[in-house]
Structure 1
Amino acid sequence: MIWNTMMGTSILSIPWGIKQAGFTSGIILILLMGILTLYCCYRVVKSRQIIPLIDTSNWEFPDVCKYYFGSFGQWSSLLFSMISLVGAMVVYWVLMSNFLFNTGKFIYNYVHDINVTDIVPGTNGSNKVICPSAASSHLPWNRSMVFSADNITGFTLFEKWWNKSQTVPFYLIAVLLPMLNLKSPSFFAKFNVLGTVSVVYLVLLVTVKAAHLGIHLEFHWFTENEFFVPEFRILFPQLTGVLTLAFFIHNCVITLLQNNRNQENNVRDLSIAYFLVGLTYLYVGVIIFASFPSPPLSKECIEQNFLDNFPSDDIMSFVARIFLLFQMMTVYPLLGYLARVQLLRQFFGNAYPSLFHVLALNLAIVGAGVAMARFYPNIGGIIRYSGATCGLAFVFVYPSLIYMISLHRAGQLTWPALITHIFIILLGLANLIAQFLL
């Protein structure tokens, strides 16, 4: 359950993050961030047990924050929790727009027997890999079309009304906004298995593509050439920002572990889940980076969503986008429900005070998603900014502060513990600041 919940959209940006950090540096950072976030998550799980003389069996982590920090802890934990939820929903909207656009384009071209020859730089053959970032911006649609004259008018009209950023993000409103207004999204929770199927299929896709493309690695430790990036790059904080959200489950881990029949196994199960998540990220990130055909392309061509490096007519990528689109359309209402419960219950004491309140909140959330898909469809940027922001509170600051305060009250705080946890807090702060500097 924890693995399935933690595995999300971040997996699509891990190869891009490794490119930003450098291959060797990226592997090291995935391992270190996995260990660090696991320790901080362990501190969250144990945070209720160190509170004396109070029954905390029904407490969530925001309740623990309220106990230690008063109303400030209560409201700040709510704020950062909303940032993580809304940030995830914005990323989902950008990705759903991307997947819906590419799916519609694939179906249209197939039905009308249109042969679209991409002029975007890429490899040849049946397992083509492209470099969208190198496309010529001055050409219409960034591609050359090869089809009969009778289809020109229809294709032009299709391109006008099926645009990745100008129209498709708005079409999703008709489907998803009514879902967000349902009082209970329990129906969509039944499709949670789609998340597991999607991740398993992505691993299969990566494996098959790598088998066909082969390994393309050439180690340049500190210098950059035309086709390869250095093993260590100053842009590495972009990967740590992505990984903060990729390993983020701290605001709901207590709830998830409450369902364990044997509570004494919580730490073991948490460790296994983090190991599996880290292994999945490592596998996908390393394989995509290593097999990316460089030359003839450059590793710099790896996109923030690695599926964008495969053309829209690629069958395996088409199936992956279908899986992910349906998965996200079922998870999106669940995230909206969590955001509604946390925010409206805090202000009005009721998760559904009225249709007007719920509709106003949902319109604001959907509007944020549409605006990002329209003007800033960079999932890597959105993930790292929201991950570093919410992670500062839930991953680095609150678990460390609560542990130090509890040790101090018990008269057990030592200098090594104090220095270690202050260092963790400083790492979280540096992680956030670095996102805006690089």
Structure 2
Amino acid sequence: MQCTRSRSADDLSQGSTESSDSYAALTSPSSDYSDCEFCEERKRKYNSLRSPQCKTSYLNPVSCITRYYNTMDRRETEPLVTSPSAVPVYMSVTSESDSLGPGEFSSSEILATHKRIENQRKPDRRKQSSLVTIFSVWNTIMGSSLLTMAWGVERAGLPVALVLVAIMSALCLYTAYVLLRVHKRHGTGSATCEVPALCRILLGQTAEGIAHVFSLIVLFGANIVYWILITNFLYFTVNYFVDLTSNTTDYNTTLLCPKHDGVNGSLIIPVPNYDTPYWGLHSTVPVYVAVIVFPLLNFKNVSFFTKFNSLGTLSVAYLLIFVLVKSIAWGVNIETQPTDAHPGQDAAVLSGMLALSFYIHNIIITIMSNNDRQENNGRDLTIAFILVTLTYILVGGVFYICFPLAKSCIEDNILNNFEMHDIMTAVARILLLFQVVTVYPLVAYMLRCEAILLLPFQDNRCLTISINTGIVAVCIVAACFCPNIGTIIRYTGAVSGLVHIFALPSLLQVRSLQLRGELSLTKAILYCSIVLCGAINLVMQFFIKE
């Protein structure tokens, strides 16, 4: 039997490498020792093994010998041993030849090993840094809720609003992190294993179907809100350009209060009416939007619209600048206004909105799976939610504090509080119009995919056009008869939030703990309380007076 060769400790320390992939090259048939030399060294080590432990131990000599050979075998099979008492040994065994010269250290093995090492050191281009991941989450969460946040603060009252934003942010952050933990333990190892797949694995097909249904509700609500915004932006943008040269009226204010029939606090300013039988904000313009948008919904490849994703970040940045500039110009006005608000009475309006404003749970696994440093997912997700929270407070809270008219004048779309000819408002509407028109086909595509999953029909061109027609029809009806985006957002957020934010993450975590034998009464009560919060949030929406 051929004996195994070893290097001395000094040679080993000089020839060691950090990469485990380099061991393949060192298992080639080459060595500096001959078989005889190594066998003699092994006998010498065996004689020196008779330590005080073996002499004074109650183990018999056979046991000591067995322990020695087990130790030597482990050293030979492990190129590096982390134990400080173990001598690292490189192993090189061949059964094909007794020739052990350096000539058999083949160039192909060297090149293959070098290639593996280089591939390991190269970063995966599909991965992204923590900074990119943080801003991806921030940009994904940000949406139309920015325009309605000040209205939500007005309905809840400033002190209650600040507390609610903090609580909802913490709850949504925790349940999103729970989904990441459950996916790490029970996911299939693929980034495409989102919430419905986890529900199928841990809770069964019924839970998977429920997850798909409520994803459908979220997407339907988003489609309706986007359609109303497109209608609004198109209406005022066209009026702005038409009236740019023909209108000679001087406006002594840039603020409006549409809710009070022309009464702007202490000012009485008539709100201009540009409606005609052929051009109405809640009559014909939603139909004109269909003429523009419907052809875009039938593109075979919607990936073209993803090229405009940067507009989302640009729009959010512009809205922040817009609010800051207007607020600085107004100054603080919260103490000079009469108390016409109802603090805390309609707090559920804001909580329902926030359930959708912080909603990212249906795609959070995919986003965080692209993070290059998976061990930092919890930290990066926390930073992203903090940024989102600060953005909402900045837009909603600062606008509310500085708004110079009665706080009840704040609209669920803050741009409606500004006169059409205000330059910054006109630029905001044009920018947001282009952004929403390019985002809408993507949202409609996701809605269509969810619908096809639930329908017992095979995907084909006819089915695609039929679903798109149904989506457009519902959006037109909503834009004509229920154009209040704040109401749609709060109901959609409360319904979908109960399932995707509160219930499913809690149930998945409870099931995961149960399978691992770590479920306790305290943990069960905690997750039941989270589900109860979502249920209360939904029920309270039906007691709000519009």
2:203/2:508 contact within 8 Å kept: no
Unaligned runs of 5+ in 2: 1-135, 264-268
- The answer for the alignment partner of 1:268 in structure 2 is 379
- The answer for the alignment partner of 1:104 in structure 2 is 238
2:498/2:538 contact within 8 Å kept: yes
Given candidates 489, 509, 518, the residue that maps to 1:412 is: 518
- The answer for the alignment partner of 1:426 in structure 2 is 532
Given candidates 455, 461, 469, the residue that maps to 1:363 is: 469
**Distance across 1 between alignment mates of 2:331 and 2:189:** 57
- The answer for the alignment partner of 1:133 in structure 2 is 259
Given candidates 442, 449, 452, the residue that maps to 1:341 is: 449
2:191/2:365 contact within 8 Å kept: no
Partner secondary structure for residue 159 of structure 1? coil
Given candidates 363, 376, 401, the residue that maps to 2:482 is: 376
Given candidates 186, 189, 193, the residue that maps to 1:59 is: 193
- 1:303 matched to 2:411? The reply is yes
The CA RMSD measured in Å over matched residues stands at 2.1
Query: What are the within-5 Å matches in structure 2 for residues 48-87 of structure 1?
Result: 48-51=183-186, 55=189, 58-87=192-221
Given candidates 481, 486, 492, the residue that maps to 1:386 is: 492
Given candidates 400, 424, 432, the residue that maps to 1:316 is: 424
| Superimposed CA distance per residue, residues 383-419 of structure 1 (whole angstroms, 9 cap, x where no aligned partner) | 0000111111110000001111211222211222111
Q: 1:57 to 1:326 in 2, by over 3 A?
A: closer
- The answer for the alignment partner of 2:296 in structure 1 is 179
**Distance across 2 between alignment mates of 1:426 and 1:372:** 30
1:48/1:56 contact within 8 Å kept: no
- The answer for the alignment partner of 1:150 in structure 2 is none
One-letter amino acid of the counterpart of residue 191, structure 1: F
**Distance across 1 between alignment mates of 2:191 and 2:325:** 47
1:6/1:249 contact within 8 Å kept: yes
- 376-385 vs 362-371, greater mean Cα deviation: 362-371
One-letter amino acid of the counterpart of residue 159, structure 1: T
| Superimposed CA distance per residue, residues 256-277 of structure 1 (whole angstroms, 9 cap, x where no aligned partner) | 1222222222222211111111
Partner secondary structure for residue 49 of structure 1? helix
1:61/1:251 contact within 8 Å kept: yes
- The answer for the alignment partner of 1:247 in structure 2 is 358
**Distance across 1 between alignment mates of 2:326 and 2:422:** 11
| Structure possessing the higher relative contact order (Cα contacts under 8 Å, 6 or more residues apart) | 1
Deviation at residue 116 of structure 1 after TM alignment: 7.2
- The answer for the alignment partner of 2:139 in structure 1 is 4
Given candidates 303, 321, 341, the residue that maps to 1:229 is: 341
**Distance across 1 between alignment mates of 2:376 and 2:293:** 38
Question: Which stretches of structure 1, 4 residues or more, deviate above 6 A after TM superposition?
Answer: none
One-letter amino acid of the counterpart of residue 93, structure 1: W
1:109/1:115 contact within 8 Å kept: no
Q: 1:249 to 1:60 in 2, by over 3 A?
A: same
Q: Report sequence identity in percent.
A: 38
Q: 1:226 to 1:218 in 2, by over 3 A?
A: closer
One-letter amino acid of the counterpart of residue 502, structure 2: F
Q: 1:7 to 1:144 in 2, by over 3 A?
A: closer
Partner secondary structure for residue 186 of structure 2? coil
Radius of gyration: which is bigger?
2
**Distance across 2 between alignment mates of 1:312 and 1:363:** 32
Deviation at residue 234 of structure 1 after TM alignment: 1.5
**Distance across 1 between alignment mates of 2:170 and 2:493:** 17
Unaligned runs of 5+ in 1: 118-123, 146-154, 220-224
**Distance across 1 between alignment mates of 2:457 and 2:374:** 31
**Distance across 2 between alignment mates of 1:325 and 1:144:** 22
Deviation at residue 55 of structure 1 after TM alignment: 4.7
Partner secondary structure for residue 377 of structure 1? coil
1:237/1:435 contact within 8 Å kept: yes
**Distance across 2 between alignment mates of 1:202 and 1:408:** 46
The two structures have a TM-score, normalised by structure 2, of 0.71
One-letter amino acid of the counterpart of residue 176, structure 1: V
- 205-214 vs 261-270, greater mean Cα deviation: 261-270
Aligned pair count reads: 404
1:49/1:56 contact within 8 Å kept: no
The two structures have a TM-score, normalised by structure 1, of 0.88
**Distance across 2 between alignment mates of 1:416 and 1:280:** 34
Deviation at residue 347 of structure 1 after TM alignment: 3.7
1:116/1:144 contact within 8 Å kept: no
Deviation at residue 229 of structure 1 after TM alignment: 2.0
**Distance across 2 between alignment mates of 1:40 and 1:349:** 34
Deviation at residue 136 of structure 1 after TM alignment: 5.7
Given candidates 313, 324, 329, the residue that maps to 2:437 is: 329
Deviation at residue 58 of structure 1 after TM alignment: 4.1
Deviation at residue 434 of structure 1 after TM alignment: 0.7
One-letter amino acid of the counterpart of residue 390, structure 2: L
1:43/1:399 contact within 8 Å kept: yes
Given candidates 363, 368, 375, the residue that maps to 1:257 is: 368
Partner secondary structure for residue 538 of structure 2? helix
